[in-house]
Chains A and B, each alone.
Chain A
């Protein structure tokens, strides 16, 4: 019911109060980038966040890479804009898909994601919950090469291994080697294959019915445009009298932020300006809760196996076992399992 001026209580300021506190505290966001080397992941990250995170990177040659396994590297940067502080963490996965034999090359990545969930679960169940660090991965940009005819087996397997652990946003990388028609064909193909293989990529939430038309239109365009075909650039070039981020070719200049050239702007708007909060929410409310429920059920069934159901389950607080003990426990477990069969 509507209230007139006389009856103004003042709790309409509540959103402001909430946000004042959030602004003071600052935000954090963890973004993972995955895909083969050379697909422009680092460049894209630099373009998205206007930074240069990979200044001192040393690229390995083919021989050096023979013995390289998939690593997980983290770069953290603090960004401030208009008084809002963001602690951005980029989780990179060098080595993914680069070997000759790429069997289960996503395992270090799924392990990493699980570890962050586990860490959060322990912290959340502990006694001192004042300053829990949230290292959970909020979004994973997966880079699909533009050279093929759709998803490759490694793409499908990777996404299926991760779609229930993290928000996956598939991208068609280095889209400047495709004509508009080719882009459209590839997007359609990838979309069909995603559906065919039952891959659950990140879904944009439905628009409210009371949203403005312009917003609804934007939302519709966003949804129809996936997977985004992106181009990144670390260099600034002169185009049409302006300085823009772009790539200079003999036949023309590709402008990163030109919407008719690629979907970079759509990706950035989605990732940062409209869906960052939702990506975090889905990570907390869906992926993390799934992990947690699964974890508790496993612990419950393990204890049931050991016939210790009479005592109350010491779920909280979880002790933090040291690495060596964990390893021994795991070894013993496997032994027992093997003996059963």
Chain B
């Protein structure tokens, strides 16, 4: 029976853990112990040194709380609207792709988090094909990675700008999915990991929430849309049972907030109304904690792996079959153009 190292779920004070050195076991233990399990520690040291990348895209109409939610998820001002948010900002005429990167650190682990916003999605009068710029952006990142991979002199660690996770914000109408929602997800669920969430869910009562979720799930199934975690990629029974539980709870009904209030003697993140305080991290109030635990504390690495092993490989196979070949590039050539605007803010904008 193999021992699986369980993922940490309980919050711990984030004192950076000292990396343990390779200790020589006592004399008596040497007889039967080879030491193969130490390779885990060797790997851990190496990965902690190199750090992690994570790229998350948020898609949904303006006003659904996308930026606030991302800030709440990562407990810092990491979204596009972190610097100088003006509510009078005009809705763009076409869908734009805006990407912002930050380096955040926790427990000795450094993560370069990139949040890709898609202002203008679903906001026009005629929203036909508004997913195209998004699809184009995602494929461009795959192309960038592929070009690096095919290079003669490859970088040791190819910079990963591929979208690992796409949070799709569903409007809390309480009825069903809108046509825009199903169209978007139909086009993109085979290209990127989509996690649908019900935004601003504090307008739904518990019963309304349950019914809405059921209807959404039924509709996704009817349209043949497979969101993350996809059933076909469950590796073993353990994965399947873990993921089944998650699939049954999706889409998560969330509330985001970057304001703190006093409740039950604690400072909590929430939204204060005349009838009470909505506590973001209270599982009785909304499913934010479920989303966060699922996305960050247990499936973060899996999101990246499914992107790399499945979505990227699908793209690559298609490319190889289409052109019958690729040029090996000998030195940095320019990548294709796309309407993306990078704005690298100063790292770690914590409060």
Contacts and interface: CB of A to CB of B under 8 A. Distances in A.
Interface of A: 1-24, 27, 48-50, 79-86, 127-130, 208, 211-212, 214-215, 218, 242-245, 257, 265, 268-269, 272-278, 281, 285, 289, 292-293, 296-297, 300, 312-317
Interface stretch (B31-39, B125-133, B187-195): B31-39
Contacts of A275: 42
B210 to A, nearest CB: 27
Contacts of B323: 312
Contacts of A2: 14, 105
A8 B22 contact: no
A296 B24 CA distance: 44
B38 A272 contact: yes
A176 B226 CA distance: 65
Contacts of B283: none
Interface of B: 1-9, 11-14, 18-19, 21-22, 24, 27-28, 30-40, 42-44, 46-49, 52, 54, 73-76, 104-109, 111, 150, 152-154, 156, 235-236, 267, 292-293, 296-302, 305, 309, 313, 317, 320-321, 323-328, 348, 350
Nearest to B347: A1
Contacts of B36: 27, 79-82, 84, 86, 272
Nearest to B326: A316
B300 A83 contact: no
13 contacts: A2-B14, A3-B105, A8-B13, A15-B44, A17-B298, A17-B300, A18-B44, A19-B43, A23-B4, A84-B36, A242-B28, A268-B35, A272-B35
Most B CB contacts (10 A, CB to CB) among A9, A244, A269, A276 go to: A9
A48 B34 CA distance: 7
Given A48-B34, A242-B27, 17 more contacts: A1-B348, A4-B13, A11-B54, A12-B12, A18-B47, A18-B301, A20-B4, A80-B2, A80-B36, A83-B1, A86-B36, A218-B21, A265-B30, A273-B38, A277-B42, A312-B323, A316-B326
Nearest to A205: B46
Nearest to A277: B42
A48 B30 CA distance: 11
A14 B42 contact: no
Given A81-B34, A215-B22, A9 B7 contact: no
A50 to B, nearest CB: 6
A59 B296 CA distance: 57
